[in-house]
A and B are shown apart, each in its own frame.
Chain A
Amino acid sequence: MTPEIGFASLISLFIVGAIGSLFFRNNDKLANRWQSFFAITGSLTGIFFSISQLISGKILAFAFAIPGFPLLSLSLYIDAISAFFIFIISLIALMCSIYGIDYIKHYYGKYDLGALGFFFNAFIVGIILVVSASNAIFFLIAWETMSFASYFLVIYDHHDKENVKAGFLYLIMTQVGTVFIMGAFLLMYKYTGSFDFRTIQANAGLIPVLAKNLIFVFALTGFGIKAGIIPLHIWLPAAHPAAPSHVSAIMSGVMIKSGIFMMIRVFLDLIQPAPTWWGLTIITIGAISSLLGVLYALTEHDIKRLLAYHSIENIGIILLGVGSALTFSSLNMPGLALISLVAALFHTLNHATFKSLLFLSAGSVINQTHTRNMEEFGGLIKFMPQTALFFLIGSMAISALPPFNGFFSEWLTYQALFQGIAVLSPIGKGIFMLAAGSLAFTGGLALACFVKAFGVTFLARPRSEEVEHAKESSFLMRLGMGTLATLSLLFGIFSGYLITAMENIGKSLAVFKNMPAITEASTGQGLVLKNNFSSVSGFAFFVLFLIVMALVYYVTKHLIYKEQKIVTGTTWDCGCDLGPRMEITATGFSRSIILIFKKILQPSIEHEIEYVTTDNPYTPKSKTVILGINDIHYSYIYQPLQAIIKKSSSYVKKIQSGNVNTYIAYIFIALVVTLFLAL
């Protein structure tokens, strides 16, 4: 099977799945089976295709000019990085489709499942084409397909008005992003004369410096809106929770990475060579995004919004890798640039894995408890033990705890930043140090946030009655989650191999060809940096951990005081009756951190006290504390912008008089003026 046929079958499977679902709109079960079948087979094809592409190392280039449209051509260019991203897309789509088979059963009878299948498959096709397209117009068509399909998926549950509002915000932001992207491509067209990516790359020297910088700003803004960098992120926490959970997983795990992919493609591939300040800007944006993302995540008690803010944080971490790659390559240090790029790529893979895992488990929990509010969860570990285990693995992975995969990609990012601190100029050193500092704090704060998320959701006693009726997720849902959890562990343990393999992927970019190997998978599955700066081994740790823990357990349980009795009692309650209100709440858990960072987060606190009798202030009946947090970007940037636009629109509205004569007068005057000017 040649690669072309492989790719064509990949795309056609999804298209057939999409269009076919529309025919089954009246039969929920058939629609479910049809869309899931094609999504699963499509994803499997995608995985095989991408792996075979990566192993063979060949580039799939295909161009088909459409007669009558000179600028648009169906051209594809799938090099190693595109194949890598197709692998990530297919992997996550596979797991989410498996999960989705049982998940969308709760939409039976309420919404149109055929439409869901159509948009879901169209969405995946859109993302795959986005990472494979090699012509700017074809790329924009794929980009818009992806955006619109995801818009319809976000508003799928339209009985809830909040979802519709979130979808609208998402649509506006993504269209604004497309405008900026178009601007960047038009600038590239103007100076290189072509919309084709390969031609642009070859002629990149023709672009003058000012235009290049403008292209950088436009592309960063446009792709940044999709990726969700601060301050362009306000759509993310609204849209990701609104979509169905298996779609949120794909949106968060894969779609926002398409922004990262295009940034890598444009900045590291198309318009090289790049000035140093580009890389430093991206690093600064990455540092700010990661810190603010995790701080806002700490304030959330809607579990899906919390996960959405963590996506922003991890995008910040990936951008740290991309930014350092750009900085190093602009300073002619391709070895370090390669490490940084590999770190970014590996973190992309890892984040896709554990973020989808987290979203899927959150989806199971929400399915059973019918609320997204964490303050109503609690004690779910007894009702949904396996889902809890998967969420725990996801939490450990995202908090960068070894031996899971999150640790190793953050480790590599740190190494890149450390090298930068060691070798760059003072300004570079300063920025890299602040980036490393933000990475350190982000890691700590993320850990705190996931202790809160896992603890409040699954541990202790139930906080509401809905929880007591919760049941474990079905087998297929557990299969999807379980595979992702196992992959998190495996990617971490075998990170040595994976990273060395990814070096070859990074080398497919022209900037890095002919580089000697930087990393090496040593004996014991370790990962060694070639200049002997550092090394780490996930496999050794994992094995060591299991052996020592087994030993400790055995010795403690069976050798020391074998006759120990373990009695079950109640938690120490100081003599009061234990109730669910005595447990820590999500808000209470993060209150300390919120108050420490109150200059940034600007929380508002209201106290209300209700007394037993009005003349005795010493016996309060109840006290309510309301802690409110608004995203400061919304109140300081977007709302004023909105007000300005509204005001200027109402000024301009005055030319719309509603009178036919005025309109024709406009035409008349325009005609006379044009005649004068043209002749």
Chain B
Amino acid sequence: MSIVTLKILLEIMFLTIVFLHISKKNYDAAIAYGIQSFCVVLILFNSFQETGNILMLFIVLLTLVVKVILAPTFFTRLVRKHDLNISINTYLNISLTLITVVILTAIAHSSKLLPLTTIIPANQTLLALSLSVMLLALFLIVNRQGAILQIIGILSFENAIVAFTVFAGLEQSAALQFGIIFDIVIWITIATTFVSMLYKHFGTLNVTSIKNLKE
């Protein structure tokens, strides 16, 4: 695949993370995460094509199954079971959120972070974009008050890191990807169980009311 295709995939990832910032329904967020993961799968497929490692193909298929199919399914099932569709609560209101998004993207593309984004000078725009996705994912976790969107934020963060490592030319070992997949599987199972337990106990997934634990 050419640079242009990769760039388009990355831009789709970027758009999904921005969408996650402004989404109001958990169902839509889960679908957006599925799309984002599909982009990552395609990027990994590209790296398989370049390296020809058969193990990578296996990993690609596995990622496809776990991140694109299983994860969003888990989330949507969770949403339907507990009727948690609405999640509009954020700390900053919508305009401030978008302004911060713009600022973070600017930071990622700025000259200050040039040493990071010019690890492989040819891929500079790609790296800058993946870096901005990373920062935006972190900001998502900070900004949102609903537990499910925070979990999705962490998963997007991990997606962005995978993309960054692929474009930065770091060694693509199958074992690494397998480790990531394994970790994700466990994480999702635990997180969903945890979320349902939280909901059962507190009656809400809003973290501001969960802070009763502190007292």
In the assembled complex, B208 has its CB within 8 A of some CB on chain A: yes
Contact A664 B142 (CB under 8 A): yes
Q: How far apart are B5's CB and chain A's nearest CB, in angstroms?
A: 29
- Among A659, A665, A667, A675, contact of B207 (Cβ-Cβ < 8 Å): A659
B contact residues around A679 at 8 Å (CB): 112-116
Question: CA of A274 to CA of B142 in the docked complex: distance in angstroms?
Answer: 56
Contact B208 A659 (CB under 8 A): yes
In the assembled complex, B214 has its CB within 8 A of some CB on chain A: yes
Contact B116 A675 (CB under 8 A): yes
In the assembled complex, B145 has its CB within 8 A of some CB on chain A: yes
Question: CA of A661 to CA of B209 in the docked complex: distance in angstroms?
Answer: 13
Residue in chain B with minimal CB distance to A666? B142
Contact B145 A661 (CB under 8 A): yes
- Among A658, A661, A667, contact of B91 (Cβ-Cβ < 8 Å): A661
Q: How far apart are A670's CB and chain B's nearest CB, in angstroms?
A: 11
In the assembled complex, A427 has its CB within 8 A of some CB on chain B: no
- Among B114, B142, B208, contact of A668 (Cβ-Cβ < 8 Å): B142
A contact residues around B214 at 8 Å (CB): 657-658
**Segment at the interface with A among B29-37, B43-51, B133-141:** B133-141
Scan residues 66-125 of chain B and give those whose CB is less than 8 A from a CB of chain A. 91, 107, 112-116
Contact B138 A668 (CB under 8 A): yes
Question: CA of A672 to CA of B100 in the docked complex: distance in angstroms?
Answer: 13
Q: How far apart are A662's CB and chain B's nearest CB, in angstroms?
A: 8
In the assembled complex, A671 has its CB within 8 A of some CB on chain B: yes
Scan residues 122-159 of chain B and give those whose CB is less than 8 A from a CB of chain A. 135, 138-139, 141-145, 150
Residue in chain B with minimal CB distance to A677? B112
Interface size on B, residues (CB 8 A): 21
In the assembled complex, A660 has its CB within 8 A of some CB on chain B: yes
A contact residues around B143 at 8 Å (CB): 661
In the assembled complex, B201 has its CB within 8 A of some CB on chain A: no
In the assembled complex, B3 has its CB within 8 A of some CB on chain A: no
Q: How far apart are A345's CB and chain B's nearest CB, in angstroms?
A: 57
Known: A657-B214, A660-B150, A660-B207. A675 touches B142 (CB 8 A): no
Scan residues 620-677 of chain A and give those whose CB is less than 8 A from a CB of chain B. 657-661, 664-665, 667-668, 671-672, 675-676
Q: How far apart are B158's CB and chain A's nearest CB, in angstroms?
A: 14
Residue in chain B with minimal CB distance to A661? B142
A contact residues around B138 at 8 Å (CB): 664, 667-668, 671
B contact residues around A668 at 8 Å (CB): 138-139, 141-142
Contact B113 A659 (CB under 8 A): no
Q: How far apart are A585's CB and chain B's nearest CB, in angstroms?
A: 52
Contact B112 A658 (CB under 8 A): no
Q: How far apart are B39's CB and chain A's nearest CB, in angstroms?
A: 24
B contact residues around A671 at 8 Å (CB): 138
Residue in chain A with minimal CB distance to B134? A671
A contact residues around B186 at 8 Å (CB): none
Residue in chain A with minimal CB distance to B143? A661
Question: CA of A660 to CA of B114 in the docked complex: distance in angstroms?
Answer: 31
Question: CA of A672 to CA of B106 in the docked complex: distance in angstroms?
Answer: 13
Question: CA of A659 to CA of B115 in the docked complex: distance in angstroms?
Answer: 34
Scan residues 57-75 of chain A and give those whose CB is less than 8 A from a CB of chain B. none
B contact residues around A667 at 8 Å (CB): 138
B contact residues around A675 at 8 Å (CB): 112-113, 116
B contact residues around A660 at 8 Å (CB): 150, 207
Q: How far apart are B85's CB and chain A's nearest CB, in angstroms?
A: 21
Contact B116 A661 (CB under 8 A): no
Question: CA of A511 to CA of B20 in the docked complex: distance in angstroms?
Answer: 74
Question: CA of A661 to CA of B89 in the docked complex: distance in angstroms?
Answer: 13
In the assembled complex, B213 has its CB within 8 A of some CB on chain A: yes
Q: How far apart are A490's CB and chain B's nearest CB, in angstroms?
A: 66
- Among B114, B135, B145, contact of A672 (Cβ-Cβ < 8 Å): B135
Question: CA of A553 to CA of B142 in the docked complex: distance in angstroms?
Answer: 94
A contact residues around B139 at 8 Å (CB): 668
- What per-residue 1/0 map shows which CB atoms of A589-626 lie under 8 Å from chain B? 00000000000000000000000000000000000000
Contact A676 B112 (CB under 8 A): yes
Scan residues 246-300 of chain A and give those whose CB is less than 8 A from a CB of chain B. none
Question: CA of A560 to CA of B113 in the docked complex: distance in angstroms?
Answer: 109
Question: CA of A660 to CA of B107 in the docked complex: distance in angstroms?
Answer: 25
A contact residues around B207 at 8 Å (CB): 659-661
Question: CA of A661 to CA of B143 in the docked complex: distance in angstroms?
Answer: 7
Question: CA of A437 to CA of B19 in the docked complex: distance in angstroms?
Answer: 84
Question: CA of A572 to CA of B76 in the docked complex: distance in angstroms?
Answer: 100
Contact B114 A665 (CB under 8 A): no
Q: How far apart are B118's CB and chain A's nearest CB, in angstroms?
A: 11
Question: CA of A671 to CA of B138 in the docked complex: distance in angstroms?
Answer: 10
Question: CA of A675 to CA of B132 in the docked complex: distance in angstroms?
Answer: 13
- What per-residue 1/0 map shows which CB atoms of B171-215 lie under 8 Å from chain A? 000000000000000000000000000000000000110010110
A contact residues around B142 at 8 Å (CB): 661, 664-665, 668
Q: How far apart are B102's CB and chain A's nearest CB, in angstroms?
A: 15
Q: How far apart are B21's CB and chain A's nearest CB, in angstroms?
A: 14
- Among A657, A659, A664, A676, contact of B141 (Cβ-Cβ < 8 Å): A664
B contact residues around A665 at 8 Å (CB): 142
B contact residues around A664 at 8 Å (CB): 138, 141-142
Residue in chain A with minimal CB distance to B115? A679
Q: How far apart are B137's CB and chain A's nearest CB, in angstroms?
A: 10
B contact residues around A659 at 8 Å (CB): 207-208, 211
Q: How far apart are A661's CB and chain B's nearest CB, in angstroms?
A: 5
Question: CA of A660 to CA of B208 in the docked complex: distance in angstroms?
Answer: 9
Residue in chain B with minimal CB distance to A660? B207
Question: CA of A659 to CA of B116 in the docked complex: distance in angstroms?
Answer: 31
Q: How far apart are A655's CB and chain B's nearest CB, in angstroms?
A: 13
Contact A658 B211 (CB under 8 A): yes
Residue in chain A with minimal CB distance to B214? A658
Q: How far apart are A652's CB and chain B's nearest CB, in angstroms?
A: 15
Residue in chain A with minimal CB distance to B144? A661
Residue in chain A with minimal CB distance to B91? A661
A contact residues around B211 at 8 Å (CB): 657-659
Q: How far apart are B195's CB and chain A's nearest CB, in angstroms?
A: 13
Residue in chain A with minimal CB distance to B111? A679
Q: Which residues of B contact A (CB under 8 A)?
A: 91, 107, 112-116, 135, 138-139, 141-145, 150, 207-208, 211, 213-214
The 4 closest A-B pairs by CB, nearest first: A658-B214, A665-B142, A668-B138, A658-B211
- A657-B214, A664-B141, A667-B138 given; 8 more Cβ-contact pairs under 8 Å: A658-B211, A658-B214, A660-B150, A661-B91, A661-B141, A661-B207, A664-B142, A665-B142
A-B contact pairs, 18 of them (CB 8 A): A657-B211, A657-B214, A658-B211, A658-B213, A658-B214, A659-B207, A660-B207, A661-B91, A661-B142, A661-B145, A664-B142, A667-B138, A668-B141, A668-B142, A672-B107, A675-B113, A675-B116, A679-B115
